[in-house]
Amino acid sequence: MTRTIAVADIGGTNARFALATIAGRDVLSVGEPVTLGTSDHPTFADAWTDFARRSPGAEPDALGLAFAGPVDGGDIKLTNNDWRIDRASLAELGIDHAVIVNDFEAVANAVATLDDEWFAPLAGPPGPLPRHGVTTILGPGTGLGVAIVAHGGDGAWQAIATEGGHIGFAPDDAVEDRLVQELRPQFGRVSAERVASGPALADLHRMLTGNEAEHRDLWQSVLAGENGAVAATFDRWCAILGSVAGDLALAQGASGVVLAGGLGYRLRDRLPNSAFAARFAAKPPYEQRMAAVPVRMLTQPQPGLFGAAVAFARSPYCGIGDPPDSNSIP
């Protein structure tokens, strides 16, 4: 039997909503998303009401929700935004059943279930993404999301959320040493997210050029293919992202790595020709081992929404009134 549910992917900048059709444990389709700015809506309830207004007649009582922050209690909060969500507030919106997962756990769900056609080569040997051992997933955006898929026997797998974006950043040369020195007075500890997320491009550009610029303006220049100082900043950012990805793969014992997320998707034509691959493998004494790890780019445009639908479909969901530890049903 098929049913229609709502799915949402809530990040620090955008909240995406859509309708999904599921049948048993399978996701049949995810509709065209409605994208809303989180800063334009004071609360999740305001955004949900806006989504319902834009989709008249489509207000399902079930929700698969991917959320950019730790999901380990009854009251969850975005890491990079003031939104909070709890089950009582969802019930007030008419949502009787909800499965809530970390946003990159949702992406991991998508990675585990999508066909090979959705993975484009970025680094490492050719061939399909390995479906054994551990797959490391990371994605730059407002922050730096990190998750893993742990593969078992007979095709079994488990998506596991992490806060790997907050590991400490290890600079590779004098330029990156200087970047850390400039960021430390402001942030104290310099995490990977501080240097390998979307907003990090502005800090890197200021350090390299002495010029202030909004990171959104810089990304528009990058995506437009402009040359000059912005291109040089982007090249360094790609190298840093590759270094962070390699560190995560080493730490997690990855048999494969997937770059995902909205920014990664928009850079799918740029990253393969950047310093990403070289820096990913530059991990002495394990250069050969790292060069043999397949690194792929996820080309599914809405993996968070798709993965939220997978999470709902695979979960023996429970009602809103159940205990707080039922946010995410294994």
Nearest alpha carbon to residue 241 among 107, 145, 98: 145
Taking each continuous run of H as one helix and of E as one strand, the counts in the chain are: 12, 14
What average pLDDT does range 74-86 have in this prediction?
Answer: 72
Nearest to 267 by CA among 220, 207, 213, 217: 220
The pLDDT score that the predictor gives to residue 327 is 40
Domain spanning 2-102+304-326: CATH 3.30.420.40: yes
Q: What is the pLDDT of residue 148?
A: 97
Which residue from 240, 239, 205 is spatially nearest to 219, judged by alpha carbons?
205
**1-59 pLDDT, tens digit each:** 788 999 999 887 889 999 999 998 899 999 999 999 888 998 889 999 899 888 766 56
68: closest CA among 148, 158, 140?
140
Q: Are 48 and 88 in contact (CB under 8 A)?
A: no
pLDDT in tens, 64-73: 999 877 776 6
Q: Which residues sit opposite 6 in a β-bridge?
A: 19, 63
248: three-class secondary structure by DSSP? helix
Q: Which whole number is the average pLDDT over 250-264? A: 92
pLDDT average, residue stretch 116-120: 95
- What's the whole-number mean pLDDT along residues 110-116? 95
pLDDT band for position 137 (cuts 50, 70, 90) = very high
**Which tokens sit at 327?**
């946010």
Which pLDDT tens digit goes with each residue over 191-226? Answer: 999 999 999 999 999 999 999 999 999 999 999 888
pLDDT for 56: 67
Q: Output the CA angle 323-325-328, nearest 5 degrees.
A: 115
- Within 10 angstroms of residue 56's Cβ, the number of other Cβ atoms is 7
Q: Cβ-count burial of 153 within 10 angstroms (0-12 exposed, 13-18 middle, 19+ buried)?
A: exposed
Token pair, residue 260, equals 């995902």
Domain boundaries, the chain: 2-102+304-326, 115-299
Report whether 211 contacts 229 (CB < 8 A): yes
Per-residue pLDDT band at 155 (split at 50, 70, 90) = confident
Q: Give the chain's mean pLDDT.
A: 89
Round to whole Å and give the CA distance between 127 and 131: 12
158 pLDDT exceeds 80?
A: yes
Distance CA 142, CA 294 (A): 26
Fold of 115-299: Hexokinase; domain 1 (3.40.367)
**Per-residue pLDDT at 128:** 93
Q: How far apart are CA 166 and CA 187, in angstroms?
A: 12
Report how far apart, in Å, the C-alpha atoms of 283 and of each of 37, 172, 276, 295 are. 39, 10, 13, 15
